[in-house]
A and B are shown apart, each in its own frame.
Chain A
């Protein structure tokens, strides 16, 4: 899979309000940031899958009256994301929503 194919598929899924991730069919680990080769085992036997879009806040920080954090998703992959909702704190459960951020539809975390 070429890197631009991965990015294009991600963009399509974002527009359809679906949360993508990459599944390594060799080692079974999942990851989010696009690479054509699994960063854990080096295999190129990968596929793009759709996440449940649910997870929890691994860590979070507040600045400029907004929250940013690392989200660990149910499927085991992690990503950076802005977080919306009241009383944001580490350990709380989230689900993703989508919005246009600087001209791109992107997921963000919303407190359950």
Chain B
């Protein structure tokens, strides 16, 4: 069960990534009422550029443990972007059940601003290093004028419009409703009035996606401590879990509006509809719409109409991205999975103050990401 959780998130952090991870760890240890010496398992992730601008760090999980003063008997790194932390939670629960560790620290994040200031994304970071090749298909993909991952999600949004008739206004409506959740939560980075027109008037980054439909990469870490013994938090565990990894490239997929979320959620669709609130990965407006459809919450092609007609507030028809999502809270180091999990834990422990879900019995969380959204993790948390 999760015994401590914390975040250290800033729009632009001047110091080192090591300071951010220290802050997140210390806050989580305090909540868990544990010492560093109690941590005997460590799980993290790596993305190019987000560790103080380094394209790589030599044996990085060991370097982090060394810096933080953690002596682990189990170390792991999961590297499929946004949903990695959700898989780490599931694996940590299993490791503890097997008696392999007592208190496992999940430390996920980095500094998105290092990459952003160099006018690159994690996907394009190799452009700064001509001798580095991210993929064997480099020249067949990267020599073209592309803007991944934005242009890749733009292609999905365009295809969704073409086959289902979804509209720019429907996507903007989702952004506006998530902003309303952010305004009520009181703990989002981006707040204030926002209208559908505001979204549609923001610049088109890669058509049809507007600037305000795209998550903002920020600096920060989330720390989650998964323990065998309970602490003062509610004793919640993963009730249902699925992960799916697709190996085809998007041009090789028959229908790009179907993501691996369809596969990762397929074994417990009936349980998803019974959840009290929903945290869905929101790298872009279209990402949320794809997951609503792919996990069976709404029929294929209907997410736009559903969002237009229904409230997604904590007392609405489908409480969704209750804290405003990472679109409003910022995306630490190009990965939103921790933002989803953190918000779910605030709600489940009734720590969401004025924006609290009334009876937070179960939450459905879906993370999607990695290169070309090839990875999805679906899970339900409950007692």
Residue numbers of A with Cβ under 8 A of B are 3, 10, 31-34, 39, 58-64, 66, 68-72, 77-82, 90-91, 101-102, 104, 106, 108
Q: Specify the main secondary structure of chain A where it touches its partner.
A: strand
- CB-CB nearest 7 A-B residue pairs: A78-B251, A61-B154, A59-B159, A63-B206, A59-B155, A62-B207, A70-B251
Task: Using A68-B151, A70-B155 as known contacts, say yes or no to A106 and B251 having CB atoms under 8 A apart.
Answer: no
Q: Specify the main secondary structure of chain B where it touches its partner.
A: mixed
Binds A, one of B11-19, B242-250, B336-344: B242-250
Residue numbers of B with Cβ under 8 A of A are 136-137, 139-141, 143-147, 150-151, 154-156, 158-159, 162, 204-209, 247-253, 256
Residue of B whose beta carbon sits closest to that of A64: B145
Let me know if B144 and A80 touch, CB within 8 A.
yes
CA–CA, A17 to B151, complex, Å?
27
Partner of A68, one of B140, B145, B249, B250: B145
CA–CA, A41 to B141, complex, Å?
23
CA–CA, A66 to B247, complex, Å?
29
Let me know if A80 and B158 touch, CB within 8 A.
no
Partner of A101, one of B143, B154, B206: B143
Q: How far is the CB of B161 from chain A (nearest CB, A)?
A: 8
CA–CA, A62 to B207, complex, Å?
5
Residue of B whose beta carbon sits closest to that of A35: B136
Let me know if B151 and A61 touch, CB within 8 A.
yes
Let me know if A39 and B248 touch, CB within 8 A.
yes
Let me know if A77 and B252 touch, CB within 8 A.
yes
Let me know if A101 and B144 touch, CB within 8 A.
yes
Residue of B whose beta carbon sits closest to that of A73: B251
Task: Using A33-B252, A39-B247 as known contacts, say yes or no to A68 and B144 having CB atoms under 8 A apart.
Answer: yes
